[in-house]
Copies of this chain bind each other. A is one copy, B any other.
Amino acid sequence: MDLFERIHAHVNRSCRLSDADLDIVDGLLEKRIVKRKTMLLQEGEVCHFEAFVNQGCIRSYYLDENGFEVTLQFAIEDWWVSDIASFHEQKPSHLFIEALEDCELLVLNPATKESLLQQIPSLERYFRLMVQRNLSSLQSRLFKTIATSAQDKYLDFLEKYPTIPQRVPQHYIASYLGISPEFLSKVRTRMARKSI
């Protein structure tokens, strides 16, 4: 697969770009290969990237008041990962961003992103929709923490991330759902029994 095939298809879902525009996109994106377990961002650092995942799996998380990791997002193929607030305001992040698999990323920094939007203003729509999805996802996490049973949370998770349970350790999924790994294990066992 061509390096830019995935992102071209992704962008084309929300705006039609000319071949000349796509060339500009390709010229500004920087390919980055990162090994499994690489930390892309640590709490306290400023986030200088927005990364499109061409291949691999990435996790963002923060530490709660007791020092426990809370998984905020998984990003797999076709997802963008960043701390958008830190990236745009160039202020220290509260997040950790970590590669869970070997990854191939296409990366923008603040300068290349601004240049991209200057040259192709119609990409504003693409990025607006991306931020909206991000906001929507964060809001729904805030509400899902409330008043939803662990099983329903896990079913929602499977709908959103069907391939993740085969790709990441179970305790990361538990830390995303806000339940203990033991409890997640019970939920999965119960669901498996029901589906026989």
Contacts and interface: CB of A to CB of B under 8 A. Distances in A.
Copies in the complex: 2
A127 interface: yes
B143 A62 contact: yes
A136 B88 contact: yes
Interface string A108-128: 000000000100011011011
B117 A125 contact: yes
A138 B138 contact: yes
B84 A147 contact: no
Contact of A139 (B85, B136, B140, B147): B85
Contact of A131 (B89, B122, B131): B131
Interface in A114-169: 117, 121-122, 124-125, 127-128, 131-132, 134-136, 138-140, 142-143, 146-147
A171 interface: no
A94 interface: yes
Contacts of A84: 132, 135-136
Q: How large is the interface on A (under 10, 10 to 19, 20 to 34, 35 or more residues)?
A: 20 to 34
Nearest to A136: B85
21 contacts: A62-B146, A63-B146, A83-B139, A84-B135, A84-B136, A85-B136, A88-B132, A94-B140, A117-B125, A121-B121, A121-B122, A124-B124, A124-B125, A127-B128, A131-B131, A131-B132, A131-B135, A134-B135, A135-B138, A138-B138, A138-B139
Given A65-B146, A138-B142, 19 more contacts: A62-B142, A62-B143, A63-B146, A83-B139, A84-B136, A85-B135, A85-B139, A88-B132, A89-B136, A94-B139, A117-B125, A121-B124, A121-B125, A124-B124, A124-B125, A124-B128, A138-B138, A138-B139, A142-B142
